[in-house]
Amino acid sequence: MVLRCAHDEGRLLLTEDKDFGDLVFRSRMALPGVVLLRLDPEKSLFKWTRLNAAITSFGANLLGRYVVVETARFRSRPLLKSVQR
């Protein structure tokens, strides 16, 4: 499972699949961070430009956050901490 791998390896999850957002919040798994690219898949160079802008804008603050990268803006919210079961 991708979420488990990101958690276990302490990696940010970079995805274009918006279903991961729902999965991340439903699973309540602590992840280092998630970046969702919501951009036209056919504009690959623009994707990397926007991703670079998000990294420049947020820097280390990408950690612990769910960041959505869109054409004209970034949205960000804190990730939930893991829940003890």
- What SS3 class is residue 37? strand
**Cα distance between residue 7 and residue 19, in whole Å:** 17
What is the crossing angle of helices 2-9 and 19-27, to 10°? 60
Give tens-digit pLDDT for 2-47. 888 988 999 999 999 988 888 888 887 788 999 999 998 888 889 9
Statement: residue 82 has pLDDT above 60 = no
- Total count of residues recorded for the chain: 85
Q: What is the pTM of this model?
A: 0.86
Map tokens 């699949």 to a residue: 17
Phi and psi of 39, rounded to 5°? -135, 160
Beta bridge partner(s), residue 69: 37, 74
